[in-house]
Structure 1
């Protein structure tokens, strides 16, 4: 298995990315090969710090960098030798099994759309994320930022993608799907939510249990939460703030610690023809390590193959 990591993406790149990659390399099985993509001289200088082992990673040179604030489409078009562009090239050519970056999220979405491309039948690729439950388990929420506006049929497809992901990566046999809404009743919500509800309740590929209110997000009512990217991103960022607020106030709790972005490390883009994981822009070495571990789980679980099978109406 080979995992490519964008060494130049993120607020604290390349130092945090290189350190996190080395931490992952020391923890992962020997058959997992890690490839850092970026400016070779800069990466090699960091790899030769005495505290680090240099045997766990390979370096592929990419002289250009796409900055966090750059326009995604222009940057990828103009910077064909950037770490993100070359990372996607490796993934498209099958030279790596997954590509991770804590860099420009827009560029990662554009790269996913136009390099590895959406799977046949996908209406809109989506960014998914884990969320903690009070009972100690985890669920999946999508979309968390890729699609601010979604048609009902797109939300319906998100439910299928999220169900396959929960089965494959979280090992939940029959994931319960809930539609994030302002009330439990079927007729609640805006027109999009009402129409999506009607599609979800007759979708035989999923285990739809109805609407989920904000107060029930972190309970064990559902395993997959469906919403548009506008709502999902607000939920995600608000959830991350829980940990920050209570940590600053000196309050430590095992459940609250699950809201620390470092615990998960990254979010997969589902619905594209490759394993792609996006990390937080402020990723620390620990977050990078966990981002890479998530990519490894995705490859091991064969979630991409299972999504393709689901789209073809085959057994998953």
Structure 2
């Protein structure tokens, strides 16, 4: 039995297809199949039911897959322990990032981190919060970047920054002439928000009076901020955006961004990891890199007074 064989088993278990698993593992399909067959012969069991499409894991195979995850996680922990002792930042670091954070944050720090740590390899995966939590607990992810707090057993949360929310209000909207808005201005009858499953949806709904939500349905749930802005420009209502997302808007669209009056609603974005993780040097380096880039651009501490414009709005002409 080898670690490589166990890696191939996990690849097939994930993709339910030998060809795709081989491609993802950077080996030929015959090589992957042969190694798995050798393991099955050694154990005298079938891990996979190859007669079904997609391939299914057998009952005993489920137990083998679970044990393989544990073995590989512990094997990786040994490498991490040695690297940590030597003060080395090298190897793969797999980070799950939620969809409402990834596009605005990752491009800011990715190249800088890789340049400063050339022997490290950041692998970024866009995942929703529940899958990030699961991935960290089962060892398939090293770290996660999510909106917190989560209050999850076994996980440690280190706040990275506190991001204000802003309103995107197109011309002709009932709030278009206001310089700043307040939470009571929000009306769920003309509010565009993200689909179920995105934590930012809950952030927005927490600001609204949802007592009559069934009678005042929210318009056009969408899966991306880009789509929400486009729908808003097309006259379907207004939306809310995180400040970093709004900061990436083209200059001509920033005229439609309105800040909140104090107290400004914010979301806490944190780095999360398993309480038993052994990669302290990476954790500190990543936090320092992200915060050094965001310093002066956004709030890094919870107790800072949030009363300033967090988005550079163009002056009205």
TM-score clears 0.5: no
The TM tier, using the shorter chain, reads under 0.3
Higher-Rg member (1/2):
2
Normalised by the length of structure 2, the TM-score is 0.23
